[in-house]
């Protein structure tokens, strides 16, 4: 299935949830409204025509100009081909969800795709988007008592952390964003 | 330009030119100073003025000291050059020498004791020789050596004989003899342990297609064991903060001492045994059981979660594997009918086919079961759960360092030797060679070199040590090829597999001894079959090793040959 | 101090030491008459081992650190094994080492490790237990004293019996004392089955 | 990492030995908290697994990561793509060539750059060689986890020749930065192809030797067969990819199913986990540790087949397309995944018209593969945890980025 068919299918199933579906880019993705995201996710996984069972990647992009953080879910549908032939990739799709930069929250899909659990924790840790309903929302990469979310564009480097100086030996304290 | 090798980093070798120049310079300096002081002394003599002590020292004594210092340096450089080359070649000889030294001292001691016994026997009123010593006086010894008792002139014997008499006198007491033999045993154990350390690393290297230790002490790093020991001795002994001090310090010795005392009853040959006790085997088993306590207390006292895990696992493993080991030990005891190691050894002197392992199929299987159980009893090869590095970072001796850790290490190798010694004693014809002892009857009685030949060819301590080292090699070989078994599989193997098997073997052996006439057809057939099987195993082992060695270049593959140094 | 004097002193010391050698185990040349020096040495060994056993037993009772108690118990059992050797009961000494020092003690230490939370666990007995312990101790002491009192020491020491051979023991076990031997094996079987059932039920 | 209350050995409790209070049959059972790592010999790199154990049984295993976090993605937002290549070396430091390859392909798709024929072949040769080297390390260290000390020596001896080939080609042994945007930095040295052929002839029989040494070793099979079984659905749900996914019976390999670069010209098949019976020892289940290990051994054979086909068909010619120094990235984004030895490494590169990308997101395969440990390690024995983590074969550089 081509991304256009996937986009049209989602559009027809959830007319109010789909925001836009730009197709002429290198990475066609369907825009979805944050609070309808759980039903769309369940639909994507359980619909017999789609069956997106593999969550390839969840990446957060900080669009500071538009004041929102964009979450891009890349999905793939792996379908068995039977008697030893390699599995086929039924369809490849991406979903784009915009969330306000500060205090943005999103329903968690950790129970839909368990792979999302660590990915969401990483986005929460590095970008500060909280996922309600997540089984164990803690920082995953930075220490638990770290302040701030490093991947944000307006992130200010800490001066020191428990006595460890934050600046490099060239005195460079905060790299150009 | 001579090629700079890593060797130079460690021991910078003086190039011949450099050495010659240094010698010339120091010789020149020495001569000049000496001539200077000579001239100064002559001038003072001429002017006849008496000198104050200060001038005397500064003028005469100091320069002469310097002169002799320079000459001494010259001597040191030349000696270092000669000695260095000499020592390197002699190095391995020294090592083999130490092994031979131990055996020679034991032999010397036995000769000495034999001499004293002859003197006591030659006394006019021989009283029974007891541990507390008969009343052998020194002049009796002198008279024994000087001449026939009737010759009065013999009494004023040369002083040297007096001195010899004084030397010989103490050896009539059994306690002193035991002390000497105990020291010999301690020497033998430490030499075995340091040899086994080096050998294990060498065999591990060979198996993993690398060289193993090559640098310490010259030829093939033979002194690696000693170097490890020295290193560990001077390392700091750390005792963890909340550890239970006295128990922590006592534990390693609770592991080492019992194994050392086990050598008490281990016969190296019919005459070379510290005490040939009625209950030798049971005593050795009892002593091997004690070092379980040492290991558990070590893990428990070092107050560290990981070592406690190690201690728990060891307790479970060693206690449970003592049972199959003990019962597998019973089979040869049933066949031999006695617990005295000397008797069991003597029984197997009729050559390869009379070894106990080949007497009945049950004994043959018991040899295998015993060997596997002994692997587990000294925590080796597939059963080395306690120090399973990958899970428990070091097992029960995580917190030990320095000499205490070395004691654990030596204890392990000594236990390996004892366990292999028992296997050889009970199953593989103790100190006898595959050739039947009856062939060498004529040699046994002859002069000392004939008896030496008999010991080398037919039955003597060398055979016991050789066979034990062969089994030791199998221990090492297994360790570096087999992965480790999980704790529940170890327990399953012991309780569900080994225990029933040993019980069945015991039953089988009992019925075998009851129903099968010793010299009947079936007994002889079984003996032949088992002997052939044993010979086949040994032949297979030696054959594959030989085949592997012969085309080791082809097996390893082209790239490895020209890529690995010195392969 | 000429050379030979010093040598004679060394020899004299060695002699004193040799005369004081223990009856560790008789050499294969058979037992000789123990003259007065021998008994003095045997006494030294007896007092040494007996003292060690007593001290360890007391230590085991008095100490409050659990692991120390186990170690003292091991000392006591080892010393008793030494005493058996002094009595030429070699087989019994070896069995003592295997059964008590190697077996029972390990099970006791196992029990300690599994039940107490940390290495420094202490056991502080309640007064009732202390009283009960003291009572039993005194009872045993009384029994011991009466037994020692009733023996007539005047006969002197009977010659030490030649070491009882192992096969003598074996034959006695399976002929004259067969019934107690079988009874104890049945008892052990029952104990083992009980232990298996107890452990098994826990893990269901 | 929250400060874990260390229930054990904190104070010296005065225990009264009265009848034990809790525990069903009067036995005082108490769970123990054990830290396996971050300096633990069997966790591959700085991974800390907090184990709650009851005796030998692991009640719960919680992996804690982040000890090797070097904010590669933040640096990606400050460097031009060709400057970011050395950063990708240090992600999965055992397969640096593959990382460079995938990142270069992602940026080339964004820029629409065509790679010359010879460069594509060289890239595939380097990628497959690095796959063999990475699987050799996995084979060696997994032997170590199981207690067989010898396997790692043989593995590293063979890997030595591959590193020599890399050193001849690009001068480095571990972090090469050899494959870059538009092709490769240098052409192959003159005798490279013959030495590669010589290595392949030497290496192919060695794999069977290792199978005899470790794969079919009875104790090794007993330790790994049927341990840590992951079903195909769980594997896909937790986002497992690479050998871990294929061992669970999912015959899926990006190089065959979504071919990129010139992988469609080569003929090789995808090894998959198989149950016991036939050539496979009894007791082996699809998706268990043994299969994850054995799929890697077979993949080495497939890589040798690919390399042989590359040697036969490599053309002469240019090795690098002309890419101007600070070319402006289009205001678009691309998400591309490549097949790394440990799974599918994906890069999301978002351009905003300036030469420096607006966002570079790296999806590490080990990050997802590791996330299943807490699910799999529930209720296993303590000795099995290193077996399971070893079979998943993680590299912390990629997990923490």
| DSSP H/E element including D257 | helix D254-257
How many residues comprise chain B? Answer: 567
Which residues in chain A have their CB less than 8 angstroms from residue D364's CB? none
| D186-212 average pLDDT score | 91
Residue D18: which domain range?
2-64
Does B have 3 or more CB contacts under 8 Å with D? Answer: yes
- Give percent of chain C with pLDDT exceeding 90: 23
Is residue D190 in some structural domain? yes
pLDDT of residue D7: 37
User: In terms of CA atoms, which chain C residue is nearest residue D32?
Assistant: C117
Is residue A174 in some structural domain? no
Contact yes or no for D14 and C115 at CB 8 A? no
C117 interfaces chain D, CB cutoff of 8 Å: yes
Q: What are the pLDDT digits (tens) for D89-113?
A: 999 899 999 999 999 999 999 999 9
Is residue D361 in some structural domain? no
Contact yes or no for B131 and C26 at CB 8 A? yes
Token pair, residue A114, equals 């368990």
d(CA D359, CA D353): 12
Token pair, residue D224, equals 């790994």
C63 interfaces chain D, CB cutoff of 8 Å: no
CATH value at residue D300 = 1.10.645.10
Our count of domains for chain D comes to 2
> Model ipTM?
0.79
Is residue A170 in some structural domain? no
User: In terms of CA atoms, which chain D residue is nearest residue C115?
Assistant: D28
Residues contacting D307, CB < 8 A, separation 6+: D125, D128, D129, D196, D200
Cis peptide leading into B50, omega within 30 of 0? no
Q: For the whole model, what pTM was predicted?
A: 0.80
> Given B244, B276, B339, which is nearest C28 (Cβ)?
B276
- Give percent of chain A with pLDDT exceeding 70: 94
Residues D237 and D304 in one domain: yes
User: What are the backbone dihedrals phi and psi of residue D310, each rounded to the nearest 5 degrees, phi first?
Assistant: -65, -45
pLDDT of residue C28: 32
Is residue A73 in some structural domain? yes
Residues D235 and D297 in one domain: yes
Q: Which residues of B touch D (CB under 8 A)?
A: 204, 207-210, 242, 303, 305-306, 309, 382, 384, 388-391, 393, 479-489, 557-560, 563-564
Cis peptide leading into D38, omega within 30 of 0? yes
A162 interfaces chain D, CB cutoff of 8 Å: no
**Which of D401, D397, D376, D380 is closest to D134 using CA atoms?**
D397
Interface test with D, best of A54, A60, A70, A110 (most D CBs within 10 A): A54
Is residue D341 in some structural domain? no
- For residue C162, name the pLDDT band (cuts at 50, 70, 90): low
Is residue D242 in some structural domain? yes
Our count of domains for chain A comes to 1
Which residues in chain B have their CB less than 8 angstroms from residue C71's CB? 247, 250, 297
Is residue A175 in some structural domain? no
Which residues in chain A have their CB less than 8 angstroms from residue D346's CB? 56-57, 74
Partners of chain D (3+ Cβ pairs below 8 A): A, B, C
**Which of D131, D123, D265, D256 is closest to D180 using CA atoms?**
D123
Q: How far is C61 from chain D (nearest CA, A)?
A: 15
Is residue D200 in some structural domain? yes
DSSP-derived secondary structure for D366-377: HHHHHTTHHHHT
Residues D28 and D167 in one domain: no
Residues D289 and D317 in one domain: yes
DSSP-derived secondary structure for D276-292: SBTTBPTT--TTSHHHH
Is residue A51 in some structural domain? yes
Residues D249 and D197 in one domain: yes
Specify the residue for token string 């107890």.
C198
Contact yes or no for C37 and B132 at CB 8 A? yes
Contact yes or no for B132 and C165 at CB 8 A? no
Which residues in chain B have their CB less than 8 angstroms from residue D217's CB? 482-483
**Which of A40, A47, A45 is closest to A14 using CA atoms?**
A40
Does A have 3 or more CB contacts under 8 Å with C? Answer: no
Q: What is the CA radius of gyration of chain A?
A: 19
Which residues in chain C have their CB less than 8 angstroms from residue D25's CB? 198, 201-202
Contact yes or no for B208 and D153 at CB 8 A? yes
User: In terms of CA atoms, which chain C residue is nearest residue D31?
Assistant: C117
Token pair, residue B225, equals 């064991």
pLDDT of residue B552: 81
d(CA D385, CA D378): 10
Q: What is the CA radius of gyration of chain C?
A: 23
Residues D276 and D161 in one domain: yes
d(CA D138, CA D395): 10
Specify the residue for token string 């979310």.
A149
Q: Running DSSP on this structure, what letter comes out for residue C116?
A: -
Residues contacting D79, CB < 8 A, separation 6+: D87, D356
Are residues B237 and B404 in contact, defined by beta-carbon separation less than 8 angstroms?
A: yes
| A95-115 average pLDDT score | 90
Interface test with D, best of B483, B492, B497, B561 (most D CBs within 10 A): B483
Q: Is the dihedral of CA B141, B143, B144, B147 positive or negative?
A: positive
CATH value at residue A60 = 3.30.460.80
β-strand pairing of D179-180 with D183-184: antiparallel
Residues D112 and D259 in one domain: yes
Is residue A52 in some structural domain? yes
d(CA D223, CA D293): 12
Which residues in chain A have their CB less than 8 angstroms from residue D253's CB? 86
d(CA D9, CA A118): 33
∠B100-B102-B105 over CA atoms, to 5°? 105
**Which of B541, B307, B265, B250 is closest to B421 using CA atoms?**
B265
Chain D stretch 139-168, residues whose beta carbon is closer than 8 A to a beta carbon of chain B = 143-150, 153-154, 157, 160-161
Q: How far is B97 from chain D (nearest CA, A)?
A: 33
Contact yes or no for C115 and D9 at CB 8 A? no
Q: What are the pLDDT digits (tens) for A28-84?
A: 888 898 888 999 999 999 988 888 999 999 999 998 888 899 999 999 999 988 888
Mean pLDDT by 10 residues, chain B (567 residues): 54 72 86 82 69 67 78 79 66 64 76 79 58 60 65 57 74 76 84 87 87 77 81 82 83 89 87 82 88 86 77 82 91 89 88 89 93 89 66 71 85 91 92 84 78 83 90 91 86 90 94 88 91 93 90 79 58
d(CA D374, CA B123): 85
SS3 B542: helix
C122 interfaces chain D, CB cutoff of 8 Å: yes
Whole-Å CA distances, C42 to B129, B131, B528, C34, C86: 18, 12, 52, 10, 8
Residues D6 and D43 in one domain: yes
Is residue A153 in some structural domain? yes
Residue A120: which domain range?
3-165
Residues D174 and D209 in one domain: yes
Is residue A173 in some structural domain? no
Q: D179: which strand partners?
A: D184
Is residue D124 in some structural domain? yes
Contact yes or no for D65 and A140 at CB 8 A? yes
Residues D30 and D156 in one domain: no
SS3 D340: strand
pLDDT of residue C39: 56
Does A have 3 or more CB contacts under 8 Å with B? Answer: no
Q: How far is B564 from chain D (nearest CA, A)?
A: 9
d(CA A45, CA A23): 22
Contact yes or no for D332 and A72 at CB 8 A? no
- For residue C79, name the pLDDT band (cuts at 50, 70, 90): very high
pLDDT of residue B80: 72
pLDDT of residue D307: 95
Interface test with B, best of C5, C6, C18 (most B CBs within 10 A): C18
D198 interfaces chain B, CB cutoff of 8 Å: yes
Q: What is the number of other CB atoms lying within 10 angstroms of the CB of residue C102? A: 24
> Given C35, C93, C113, which is nearest B132 (Cβ)?
C35
Which residues in chain C have their CB less than 8 angstroms from residue B239's CB? none
Residues D207 and D172 in one domain: yes
Q: What is the CA radius of gyration of chain D?
A: 23
d(CA C160, CA D252): 85
d(CA D23, CA A39): 45
Contact yes or no for D257 and A86 at CB 8 A? yes
Question: Any alpha helices (H) in D112-242, and if so which ranges?
Answer: 117-145, 150-170, 192-210, 218-224, 232-237
Is residue D273 in some structural domain? yes
pLDDT of residue A13: 87
Residues D122 and D194 in one domain: yes
DSSP-derived secondary structure for D130-156: HHHHHHHHHHHHHHHHTT-SHHHHHHH
Contact yes or no for C98 and B286 at CB 8 A? yes
Token pair, residue B123, equals 């006394």
Interface test with C, best of D8, D14, D21, D56 (most C CBs within 10 A): D14
Q: What are the pLDDT digits (tens) for D9-59?
A: 333 333 333 333 344 544 445 677 777 766 665 556 788 888 888 877 888
B279 interfaces chain C, CB cutoff of 8 Å: yes
Interface test with C, best of D7, D11, D19, D25 (most C CBs within 10 A): D25
């Amino acid at each position: 299935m081509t991304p256009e068919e996937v986009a049209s299918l989602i559009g027809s199933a959830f007319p109010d949830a789909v925001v836009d579906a730009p197709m002429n880019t290198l990475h066609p993705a369907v825009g979805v409204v944050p609070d309808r995201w759980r039903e769309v996710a369940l639909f994507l996984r359980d619909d017999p025509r789609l069956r997106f069972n593999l969550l390839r990647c969840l990446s957060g992009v900080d669009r500071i100009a538009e004041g929102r953080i964009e979450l891009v879910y890349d999905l793939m549908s792996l379908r068995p081909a039977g008697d030893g032939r390699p599995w086929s990739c039924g369809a490849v799709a991406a979903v784009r969800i915009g969330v306000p930069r500060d205090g943005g929250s999103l329903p968690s899909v950790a129970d839909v795709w368990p792979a999302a659990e660590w990915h969401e924790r990483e986005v929460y840790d590095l970008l500060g988007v909280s996922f309600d309903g997540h089984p164990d929302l803690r920082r995953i990469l930075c220490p638990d008592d770290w302040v701030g979310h490093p991947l944000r564009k307006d992130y200010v480097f800490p001066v020191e952390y428990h006595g460890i100086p934050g600046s490099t030996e060239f005195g460079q304290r905060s790299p150009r964003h | 330009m001579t090629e700079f090798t890593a060797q130079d980093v460690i021991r910078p070798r003086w190039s011949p030119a450099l050495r010659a120049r240094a010698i010339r310079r120091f010789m020149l300096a020495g001569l000049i100073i000496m001539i200077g002081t000579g001239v100064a002394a002559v001038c003072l003599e001429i002017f006849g003025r008496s000198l104050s002590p200060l001038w005397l020292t500064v003028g005469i004594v100091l320069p002469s000291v310097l002169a002799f210092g320079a000459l001494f340096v010259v001597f040191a450089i030349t000696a270092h050059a000669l000695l260095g080359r000499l020592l390197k070649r002699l190095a391995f000889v020294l090592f083999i020498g130490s092994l031979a030294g131990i055996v020679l001292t034991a032999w010397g001691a036995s000769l000495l004791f034999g001499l004293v016994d002859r003197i006591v026997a030659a006394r006019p009123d021989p009283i029974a020789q007891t541990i507390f010593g008969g009343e052998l006086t020194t002049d009796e010894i002198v008279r024994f050596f000087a001449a026939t008792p009737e010759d009065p002139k013999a009494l004023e014997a040369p002083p040297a004989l007096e001195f010899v008499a004084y030397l010989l006198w103490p050896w009539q007491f059994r306690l002193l003899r035991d002390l000497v033999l105990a020291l010999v045993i301690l020497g033998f154990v430490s030499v075995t342990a340091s040899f086994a350390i080096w050998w294990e690393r060498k065999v591990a290297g060979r198996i993993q297609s690398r060289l193993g230790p090559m640098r310490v002490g010259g030829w093939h790093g033979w002194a690696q064991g000693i170097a490890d020991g020295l290193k560990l001795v001077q390392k700091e002994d750390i005792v963890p903060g909340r550890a239970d001090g006295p128990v922590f310090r006592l534990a390693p010795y609770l592991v080492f001492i019992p194994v050392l005392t086990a050598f008490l009853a281990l016969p190296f040959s019919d005459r070379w045994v510290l005490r040939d006790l009625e209950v030798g085997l049971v005593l050795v088993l009892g002593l091997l059981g004690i070092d379980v306590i040492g290991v558990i207390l070590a893990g428990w006292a070092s107050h560290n979660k990981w070592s406690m895990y190690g201690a728990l696992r060891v307790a479970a493993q060693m206690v449970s594997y003592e049972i199959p080991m003990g019962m597998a030990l019973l089979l040869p005891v049933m066949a031999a009918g006695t617990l005295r190691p000397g008797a069991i050894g003597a029984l197997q002197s009729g050559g390869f086919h009379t070894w106990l392992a080949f007497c009945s199929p049950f004994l043959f299987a018991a040899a295998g079961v015993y060997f596997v159980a002994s692997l587990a009893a000294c925590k080796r090869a597939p059963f080395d759960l306690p120090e399973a590095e990958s899970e428990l970072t070091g097992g029960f001796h995580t917190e030990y360092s320095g000499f205490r850790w070395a004691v654990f290490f030596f204890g392990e190798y000594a236990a390996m030797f004892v366990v292999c010694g028992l296997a050889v004693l009970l199953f593989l014809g103790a100190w006898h060679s595959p050739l039947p002892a009856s062939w060498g009857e004529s040699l046994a009685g002859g002069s000392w070199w004939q008896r030496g030949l008999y010991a080398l060819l037919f039955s003597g301590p060398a055979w016991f040590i050789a066979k034990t080292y062969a089994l030791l090699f199998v221990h090492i070989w297994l360790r570096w090829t087999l992965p480790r078994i999980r704790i529940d599989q170890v327990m399953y193997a012991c309780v569900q597999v080994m225990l029933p098997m040993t019980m069945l073997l015991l039953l089988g052996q009992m019925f075998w001894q009851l129903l099968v006439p010793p010299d009947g057809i079936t007994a002889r057939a079984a003996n032949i079959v088992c002997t052939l099987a044993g010979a086949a195993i040994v032949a297979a082992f030696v054959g594959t090793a030989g085949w592997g060695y012969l085309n080791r270049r082809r097996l390893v593959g082209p790239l490895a040959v020209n890529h690995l140094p010195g392969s | 101090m000429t050379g030979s004097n010093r040598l004679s002193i060394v020899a004299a010391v060695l002699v004193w030491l040799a005369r004081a050698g223990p009856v560790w185990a008789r050499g294969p040349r058979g037992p000789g008459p123990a003259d007065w020096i021998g008994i003095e040495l045997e006494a030294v060994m007896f007092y040494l081992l007996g003292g060690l056993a007593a001290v360890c037993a007391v230590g085991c009772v008095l100490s409050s650190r659990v692991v120390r108690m186990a170690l003292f118990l091991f000392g006591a059992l080892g010393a008793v094994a030494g005493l058996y050797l002094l009595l030429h009961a070699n087989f019994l000494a070896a069995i003592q080492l295997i059964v008590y020092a190697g077996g029972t003690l390990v099970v006791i230490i196992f029990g300690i490790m599994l039940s107490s939370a940390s290495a420094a666990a202490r056991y502080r007995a309640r007064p009732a237990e202390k009283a009960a312990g003291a009572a039993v101790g005194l009872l045993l002491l009384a029994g011991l004293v009466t037994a020692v009192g009733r023996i007539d020491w005047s006969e002197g020491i009977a010659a030490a019996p030649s070491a009882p051979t192992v096969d003598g023991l074996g034959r006695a076990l399976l002929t004259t004392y067969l019934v107690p031997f079988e009874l104890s094996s049945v008892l052990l079987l029952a104990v083992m089955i009980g232990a298996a059932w107890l452990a098994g039920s826990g893990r269901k | 990492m929250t400060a874990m209350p260390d229930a054990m050995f904190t104070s010296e409790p005065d225990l009264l030995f009265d009848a034990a209070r809790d525990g069903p049959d009067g036995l005082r059972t108490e769970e123990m908290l054990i830290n396996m790592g971050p300096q633990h010999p069997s966790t591959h790199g700085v991974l800390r697994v907090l184990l709650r154990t009851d005796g030998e049984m692991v009640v719960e295993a919680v992996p804690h990561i982040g000890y090797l976090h070097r904010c590669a993605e933040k640096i990606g937002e400050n460097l031009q793509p060709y400057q970011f290549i050395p950063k990708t070396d240090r992600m999965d430091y055992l397969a640096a060539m593959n990382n460079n390859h995938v990142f270069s392909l992602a940026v080339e798709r964004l820029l629409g750059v065509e790679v010359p024929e010879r460069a594509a072949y060289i890239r595939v040769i380097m990628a497959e060689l690095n796959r063999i080297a990475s699987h050799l390390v996995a084979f060696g260290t997994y032997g170590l986890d199981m207690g067989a000390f010898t396997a790692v020596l043989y593995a590293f001896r063979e890997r030595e020749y591959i590193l020599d080939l890399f050193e001849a080609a690009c001068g480095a042994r571990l972090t090469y930065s050899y494959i870059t945007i538009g092709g490769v930095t240098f052409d192959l040295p003159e005798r490279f192809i013959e030495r590669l052929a010589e290595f392949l002839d030497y290496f192919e029989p060695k794999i069977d030797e290792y199978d005899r040494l470790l794969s079919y070793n009875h104790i090794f099979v007993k330790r790994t067969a049927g341990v840590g079984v992951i079903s195909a659905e769980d594997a896909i749900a937790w986002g497992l990819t690479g050998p871990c996914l294929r061992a669970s019976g999912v015959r899926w390999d990006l190089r065959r199913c979504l071919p990129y670069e010139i992988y469609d010209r080569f003929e090789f098949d995808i090894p998959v986990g198989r149950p016991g019976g036939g050539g496979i020892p009894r007791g082996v289940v699809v998706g268990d540790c043994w299969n994850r290990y054995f799929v890697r051994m077979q993949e080495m054979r497939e890589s040798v087949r690919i390399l042989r086909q590359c040697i036969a068909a490599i053309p002469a010619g240019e090795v690098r397309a002309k890419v101007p120094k600070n070319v402006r990235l289009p205001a678009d984004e691309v998400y591309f995944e490549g097949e790394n030895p440990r799974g599918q490494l994906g890069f999301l590169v978002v351009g905003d018209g300036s030469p420096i990308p607006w966002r570079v997101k790296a999806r590490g395969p080990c990050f997802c593969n590791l996330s299943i440990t807490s699910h799999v390690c529930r209720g296993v024995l303590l000795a099995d945890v290193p077996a399971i983590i070893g079979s998943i074969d993680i590299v912390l550089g990629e997990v923490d980025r």
